[in-house]
Amino acid sequence: MRIGRYLDHAVLKPEFTQEEAKAGIQMGIDYHAKTVCVRPCDIELAKQMCEGTETQVSCVLDFPHGAAGLEAKAALAEIYAKTGVVEIDMVMNFGLAKSGEWGRVAQEIKAVTDSAHKYGVGVKVIFETSQLTRDEIRKGTEVCVECGADFVKTSTGFLGCGATEESVKTMIETAAGRIKVKPSGGMSDYETAKAFVDMGADRLGVGVAFTPAICEGEKRALGGEG
């Protein structure tokens, strides 16, 4: 499978104009990304542009801080799921995780997952692994499994270093096939992206600036094929 089919092509910069958002979404379509991951305000635009293509639409929730609280998270999940996105990438309250308040973390994840799954929408839980210890990453992964989430995801791309080999390995080992893993952030070339896939990642979160380098790098690696 081509690398583009692993990509959630992220069009998330808060300063993007509508023309820049359109250009970013079109880039994801052109490179056959699995989804374009967009700001909630761009869901309808992305759906219109992706209609009839092999690229689907995902969106972020409580992004990038994850601190909106249980009721807000649940309400937003209901709103976004009804729009017809295929997946929602929610930010875990990593401050609560660092505080050891895993019960509250679980309540938020379960509320989003329950709301989204009613509409057949998948849920990815963003940890912001650069702010967590390995033990906290392990615990977060177990909580996500228990709450029925579909993916654990390393990073928002807005804080810290993004995905690292250590954080992804920790997620994959803890997941043990019970939940999918999405490294996000920190990928700017094909070699890095492919290394995460080879480790067992199921999806890759890639900023709009780096999708061309990753996909064109694959073509070069395959001798111009594809």
Residue from 73, 110, 124, 153 carrying the catalytic annotation: 153
Instruction: Give the residue among 172, 154, 171 at the shortest CA–CA distance from 163.
Output: 154
Angle at 77 between CA 61 and CA 176, to 5 degrees: 75
89 is catalytic: yes
47 is catalytic: no
Are 92 and 62 in contact, with CB atoms under 8 Å apart?
no
110 is catalytic: no
Residue from 8, 42, 62, 89 carrying the catalytic annotation: 89
Tell me which long-range contacts 171-179 makes (C-beta under 8 A, separation of at least 24): 171/129, 171/137, 171/141, 172/199, 172/200, 172/201, 174/137, 174/138, 174/141, 174/142, 175/141, 175/145, 178/145, 179/141, 179/144, 179/145, 179/149, 179/150, 179/151, 179/152
Residue from 34, 110, 182, 194 carrying the catalytic annotation: 182
Say whether 35 sits in a helix, a strand or coil.
Answer: strand
Q: Which residues have a catalytic role annotated?
A: 89, 153, 182
